[in-house]
Structure 1
Amino acid sequence: MRGDDISGRKNTSVNAPGAQVARRRRWLWVGSIAVIAAVGVGWYAWPTGQETSADPHVRHPGKLQPICASPDGRTLYADVDGDGVVDEVYDSKDRDGRTVVTFEGPGNKRARQPVWSIVTTAKGRLKAHASPEEGFRAAFGDLDHDGRVDMAVTYTALPESDDPVDSASMHEVRWGPLGRDLKGRSRGSIRMSHGYYIDGLRAVAGTRPSAGANPGPARLLVHQTTGDGAFETYQGQKLGHDLVVPDEPLPRWAQEFAEQKDGWADLGQCPTSP
């Protein structure tokens, strides 16, 4: 029995006008879903993290927060741990190292972290209470100009005589976001020419290249002894993951250091809350 010759048959289910219409509808439906998904993903992935909130008192998770001070200069507002919510860095008028970071969390929960808790000795042992009298210094500021607050820490022993000695056990910069443990995204060294006693450590607002322009990265100023009761001012310069402090003091160092505003005010005052 000769089999049927199907070479000339037409697939009516494929070529029927109704099937073509249904197929077009399916493609339109799939295409619409793809467009909606792309728009949704694009909106979600839009770099809102690079937008800056105008007022640190207004919480805007997902946005970079400004780094600025309270009117009295005692509190620095910044997103220290990188969760998109403003935290508070509080220090005394002289910013002498008694620094405490208060982290804001969900449900208005707050956590306090004293900065001196991260200081280590030369042998790596943790010091629970490294006081300013023992030579602890800390400074916060956007030292690499990426919109995140960084932290510089030094720990040097007070000289016992007029002759300075190398007593540095900690010269470190921690790049933000710092996290709640203040360990930082990464770490680098503050490369000093000498490990002498550091009397002051400050991050001050960067210079403006022109009128109306945004300031550059914060400048790290180091007030270091040179012996016989004299001090000089040095400025750190970012080099890779480190801050290099050239052995060239800034002019008018002592006067410039003394002229800094109270607390954190020299990093700029925050706008008034609405």
Structure 2
Amino acid sequence: MAICAPDGYTLRADVDADGRLDEINASTGSVFFRGDGHRTVGEVDDALGFWQMLRGSWREGMKTRGAFGDFDGDGYLDLAVFYSQENNGDTPMHNMVVHEVHYGPLARDLSSGRTGTIHMWSSSFVYEVRALDANHDGPAELQVFQSKGDGAVVRLAGRQDRGGVSVSREETGLYGESDFPSLDPDALGYGACADRRSAGPEVEPA
């Protein structure tokens, strides 16, 4: 089933390869799995393993950020996930416990049998992460909004490389902590869904 976008904030795809279209809220990172007469919701936090959560449990301000996109171009949605520590004032904290890609198909807890590293140049806090196929070439590009210190946030770009995603050191934008751009509703890069009614989150009563 092809990945499609009924609007600029939503994706529909068969995330878990069960033959049913699921729905992804691109702004919140929530996945609404359909099937078995009920709806199951997966959140990006679910993608962290027990030991990964444990490694961050003694640090304050650990936050999970994630984005869904087909980074390797195989037709399945993948999940890029970060688990990093918020800044202490204007001072960036360098505690990034998780920076990895879960390649689809994904389980309903958003785990995967195949993962890859997101190669980063800095381990500072990740405010937000997005996946866009703005040039419509198939594989999605990763956009990472990461702390530069002193209240500055840089936008960095990454693409599939070396069995994971490599993020460039080149800054594609510089912003304050509260003024980096909102998600462009036309930039997800996937075609419109042919029949929006057939793949919505509505389900039959259990």
Q: TM-score, normalised by structure 1?
A: 0.61
Tell me, yes or no, if structure 1 residue 119 matches structure 2 residue 43: no
In the alignment, which residue of structure 1 is the partner of 2:124?
196
Question: Which structure 1 residue ranges, 4+ long, deviate > 6 Å from structure 2?
Answer: none
1:195 offset after TM fit, Å? 0.4
In the alignment, which residue of structure 2 is the partner of 1:48?
none
What letter is aligned with 2:123?
A: G
Q: What is the DSSP-based 3-state SS (H/G/I as helix, E as strand, rest coil) of the residue aligned with 2:188?
A: helix
What is the CA–CA distance in structure 2 between the aligned matches of 1:196 and 1:121, rounded to whole Å? 22
What is the CA–CA distance in structure 2 between the aligned matches of 1:240 and 1:195, rounded to whole Å? 19
Tell me, yes or no, if structure 1 residue 69 matches structure 2 residue 5: yes
Instruction: Name whichever of 198-207 and 176-185 sits farther off.
Output: 176-185
What letter is aligned with 1:111?
A: T
Tell me, yes or no, if structure 1 residue 258 matches structure 2 residue 181: yes
Once the two structures are aligned, what percentage of the paired residues are identical? 33
Q: TM-score, normalised by structure 2?
A: 0.79
1:265 offset after TM fit, Å? 5.9
Equivalent residue for 1:80, pick from 3, 15, 24: 15
Residues 103-124 of structure 1, C-alpha deviation per residue, up to 9 Å, x if partnerless?
1124x43222222123258754
Evaluate the alpha carbon distance shift between residue 99 and residue 123 of structure 1 in structure 2; reply closer, same or farther with a 3 A threshold.
closer
What is the CA–CA distance in structure 1 between the aligned matches of 2:31 and 2:194, rounded to whole Å? 22
Residues 21-61 of structure 1, C-alpha deviation per residue, up to 9 Å, x if partnerless?
xxxxxxxxxxxxxxxxxxxxxxxxxxxxxxxxxxxxxxxxx
Evaluate the alpha carbon distance shift between residue 204 and residue 158 of structure 1 in structure 2; reply closer, same or farther with a 3 A threshold.
same
Q: What is the DSSP-based 3-state SS (H/G/I as helix, E as strand, rest coil) of the residue aligned with 1:258?
A: coil
1:270 offset after TM fit, Å? 2.2
1:135 offset after TM fit, Å? 2.2
Structure 2: gaps (5+ residues):
198-206
What is the CA–CA distance in structure 2 between the aligned matches of 1:105 and 1:124, rounded to whole Å? 29
Report 1:240-259 matches (<5 A): 240-250=162-172, 252=173, 254=175, 258=181
Equivalent residue for 2:30, pick from 100, 105, 120: 100
Evaluate the alpha carbon distance shift between residue 120 and residue 162 of structure 1 in structure 2; reply closer, same or farther with a 3 A threshold.
farther
Say which structure is richer in helix. 1
What is the CA–CA distance in structure 2 between the aligned matches of 1:196 and 1:147, rounded to whole Å? 31
Structure showing greater Rg: 1
Tell me, yes or no, if structure 1 residue 221 matches structure 2 residue 156: no
What letter is aligned with 1:185?
A: G
C-alpha root-mean-square deviation of aligned residues, in Å?
A: 2.8
What letter is aligned with 2:100?
A: E
Evaluate the alpha carbon distance shift between residue 253 and residue 80 of structure 1 in structure 2; reply closer, same or farther with a 3 A threshold.
farther
| 8 Å CA contact 2:92, 2:124 repeated in 1 | yes
Structure 1: gaps (5+ residues):
1-64, 128-132, 209-214
Equivalent residue for 1:163, pick from 91, 97, 111: 91
Evaluate the alpha carbon distance shift between residue 137 and residue 254 of structure 1 in structure 2; reply closer, same or farther with a 3 A threshold.
same
What is the CA–CA distance in structure 1 between the aligned matches of 2:189 and 2:105, rounded to whole Å? 18
1:153 offset after TM fit, Å? 0.4
| 8 Å CA contact 2:78, 2:105 repeated in 1 | yes
In the alignment, which residue of structure 1 is the partner of 2:154?
232
